[in-house]
Amino acid sequence: MSADLIDGKAFAGQVRARVAAQVARLKEVHGITPGLAVVLLGEDPASQVYVRNKGKQTAEAGMASFEHKLPAETTEADLLVLLDALNADSAVHGILVQLPLPPHIDENLVVGRIDPAKDVDGFHISNVGLLATGQKAMVPCTPLGCLMMLRDRHGDLSGMNAVVVGRSNIVGKPMAQLLLRDSCTVTIAHSRTREIEALCRGADILVAAVGRPEMITADWVKPGATVIDVGINRIPAPEKGAGKTRLVGDVHFESAAAVAGAITPVPGGVGPMTIACLLANTLTACCRANGLAEPA
């Protein structure tokens, strides 16, 4: 491996420590405790792990954590009633509804019901529009974490060629918006993109948000490029024993790391930054709600 490892786990620890210090100050000086409400429907094991981690890290940062675990059969109407109550609750500054929702519930309707000022996931159409028009928005946590790592590595991103593989509303599109805001020349690639490999090989910054295990290999990577791997894929790992699995990204780490200048690992890259940014967004929402200066 010749690439530098971008240690998202360590970076996320620094972000969380900074948030915790700012939360402590907010409590001491203003008597305000930021609060994050997380709503989970059903028993999806991966979602339960995410929600547990979010609750734990929220509490560790000194914030109030409100968990609402509801049965999978909860009706859309009941979920909307809960969101209305959370919107009206002054102790709650951030609201996150864990996705995906069961099929009988309209995700767009639910996300649209969250007060945009409390939409710490940044998925509400108001925040999407604010980001796209360069205004003050709540920014989706995963791309925000990627941007922080890129700025940390490069400082000024201006003029760099960035390729984002994936065009989802939660990762690919907002990632592209953020890179554009930082004056990169941005291309979004997707499943219909032609000659995608050559396109990626022109990128100074390559962000993979596809959901296909180890799809991006060394041939896709420009020598010296910075590679951010958002993918989280569980694949069989017979070498660890029968029925065992392991996590890999969308990038074939070993081969890409031989060519790239810097690369994020999976796990330990983008994942930890996502939760750290959720905490940072909750703190930001709390400061805005109370008319206080936003944390740097």
Distance of CA 108 to the CA centre of its chain: 19
Please state, in angstroms and rounded to a whole number, the distance separating the CA atoms of residues 156 and 178. 13
Of 147, 126, 143, 148, nearest to 135 by C-alpha is 126
CB nearer to ligand NDP: pick between 62 and 271:
271
Cα of first residue to Cα of last residue in the chain, in angstroms, is 35
27 assigned to active site: no
Residue 57 found at the interface with ligand NDP (CB under 6 A): no
Active-site annotation holder among 54, 118, 173, 222: 54
- CA-to-CA dists, residue 88 to 84, 92, 95, 266, angstroms: 6, 8, 11, 38
Stretch of residues binding ligand NDP (CB under 6 A), selected from 52-60, 130-138, 179-187, 231-239: 231-239
121 assigned to active site: yes
Site string for ligand NDP, 148-187 (x = CB under 6 A): -----------------xxxx-xxx---------------
Residue whose structure tokens are 């009633």 = 81
CB nearer to ligand NDP: pick between 168 and 187:
168
Question: Is there a binding annotation on residue 153?
Answer: no
User: Which residues pair with residue 63 across a beta bridge?
Assistant: none
Site string for ligand NDP, 189-218 (x = CB under 6 A): xxxx---x------------xxxx------
Of 150, 157, 149, nearest to 180 by C-alpha is 157
Please state, in angstroms and rounded to a whole number, the distance separating the CA atoms of residues 229 and 200. 13
CB nearer to ligand NDP: pick between 74 and 98:
98
Please state, in angstroms and rounded to a whole number, the distance separating the CA atoms of residues 25 and 243. 48
Binding residues with ligand NDP: total (CB under 6 A): 24
Active-site annotation holder among 119, 121, 204, 229: 121
Question: Is there a binding annotation on residue 18?
Answer: no
> Where is the binding site, in residues?
166-168, 232
By CB under 6 A, name the binding residues for ligand NDP. Answer: 142, 165-168, 170-172, 189-192, 196, 209-212, 230-233, 270-271, 274
